Structure 1
Amino acid sequence: MGSAPTDPDTPTGPMPAADFVAALRDLSDRYWDRHPFHLRLHEGRLTKPELQLWAANRWYYQRCLPQKDAAIIANCPLPEVRRHWLDRIVYHDGRDAGDGGARNWLRLAEAVGLDRAEVLDERHVLPGVRFAVDAYVNFARARSWQEGVASGLTEMFSPGLMRRRLADMREHYPWIGEEGFAYFTSRLAVVAGEGRSTVDIVVQHCGTREQQEAAVAALAFKCDVLRAILDSIDYACHQIAP
């Protein structure tokens, strides 16, 4: 039997770099900045128990990010990419105990009134949040390293959101001590640069149409993971007695 005919209207060659980046950026509407929970957060309409639930569940995401990044490194055969990506693990885990982005998130959890022990033992982590985050880590382990890297391109959408979140939380939740915002202030210093360098890696190493489309799908998957996290938190917040 002969092979199936190729549809002449189906593109087979790689997208030009500008079109590829545009396809990635077009996913910004799927980012979690417009989720109803985040809208309430920015408008100052969350109660203290709701902020605590958010902080405790977001902790699970934060603490799993180094495992996701380690999976990408394990799958990548290129030492120059591995060296570059290693900085992300160091950023989140810190070079020493008590440092790093994960520890800064614990400071936020404490600033909203949680005890560090109850965050670390994950008693407040919702099943839907755990399922979504674990799916993200498993995605990085099972898929190509290019897809794993591309999934992190939500960084393209986050610098403006993070600046606005910091300003809105300072305004609407003045009872949160300034030490609780260390995660956001430190993250702002690196997220824009990480986003640009990640785009460069994806564009350089996704040289075929198939790889490019897989990268776009990976970023869409990550957006869905983030929204699933907030879906679970948002639903649980509606069950909290006023």
Structure 2
Amino acid sequence: MAAALLDAEEFRTALRGLEHRYWGSHPFHRRLHDGDLDERELRFWAANRWYYQSMIPQKDAAILSNCPLPGVRRQWLDRIVYHDGRTAGEGGLERWLRLCEAVGLTREEVLDERHLAPGTRFAVDAYVTFARTRPWVEAVASGLTEMFSGHLMKQRVVDMLAAYEWIRAEDLAYFTNRIDAVSGEGQETLELVVEHCVTREQQDAAVAALSFKCDVLWSLLDAIERAAAKQ
């Protein structure tokens, strides 16, 4: 017998219940927040994290291409604009490049991916492939890690300013600008998933998608941690 459909609150609880899998508790993130990374490790983190940031608009474009609903496409389009900006020199990707410069990287070495660990590329590319090949609502559900990220970003700003004296508040504009946005997006995305997962099979697939995304993020930090130790 097939499992019964979860009611809306049960479904929300199942999705929120994956918070313990989020990368906030990864040992590398703990070291970052504790101020235990040296400048070389911090640069390596920023350069590798850039690849993840740079692929988010492509992931979101894949969701748009698979979604037949104009209202959802209009809603999701704002995410691409947020990261890419409406013109050159603005947007979330530009703010991340400024953070890279603040920790001692040049734009050239970030953009040519010379510091990119193979495991980083593998994990991020797997996430984009997931968004391109799975039903749009599963790809949307995979992004629900944003439900868990607002408080972590806020704490990261506090901890990095306290621990890394060469970093200024303006260098962390990616995080400070994103804190409020991601909190709102997380709630909107959650309700979108709840609305469009109308069978238990779809609900289970959404939970699995979010679990997969948690694995992607954890694997990304694993790759960064291992590769940085070899530098």
TM-score by length of 1: 0.94
Q: 1:66-81 residue pairs with structure 2 within 5 A?
A: 66-81=57-72
2:190 is matched with which residue: 190, 199, 216? 199
| Corresponding position: 1:180 with 2:171 | yes
Q: Is the 8 A contact 2:28 2:221 kept in 1?
A: yes
TM-superposed CA distance for 1:235, in Å, is 0.9
Backbone CA RMSD of aligned residues: 0.8
Deviations 1:128-182 (A, max 9, x none): 0000000000000000000010000001101110100000000001211333111
Q: Give the unaligned 5+ runs of structure 1.
A: 1-5
2:206 is matched with which residue: 206, 209, 215? 215
Deviations 1:112-142 (A, max 9, x none): 0001110011111110000000000000000
**CA distance in structure 2 between the partners assigned to 1:177 and 1:42 by the alignment:** 15
2:118 is matched with which residue: 104, 118, 127? 127
Q: 1:33-48 residue pairs with structure 2 within 5 A?
A: 33-48=24-39
In structure 2, the residue matched to 1:3 is none
- State the 4+ residue runs in structure 1 displaced beyond 4 angstroms: none
TM-superposed CA distance for 1:37, in Å, is 0.1
1:150 is matched with which residue: 129, 141, 146? 141
Paired residue total: 231
Q: Which amino acid aligns with 2:64?
A: I
Q: Give the unaligned 5+ runs of structure 2.
A: none
In structure 1, the residue matched to 2:225 is 234
TM-score by length of 2: 0.98
2:103 is matched with which residue: 109, 112, 116? 112
**CA distance in structure 1 between the partners assigned to 2:230 and 2:115 by the alignment:** 14
Q: Is the 8 A contact 2:22 2:145 kept in 1?
A: yes
**CA distance in structure 1 between the partners assigned to 2:170 and 2:110 by the alignment:** 17
- For the residue of structure 2 that corresponds to 1:125, the secondary structure is coil
**CA distance in structure 2 between the partners assigned to 1:236 and 1:59 by the alignment:** 15
TM-superposed CA distance for 1:79, in Å, is 0.3
**CA distance in structure 2 between the partners assigned to 1:128 and 1:35 by the alignment:** 16
**CA distance in structure 2 between the partners assigned to 1:138 and 1:227 by the alignment:** 17
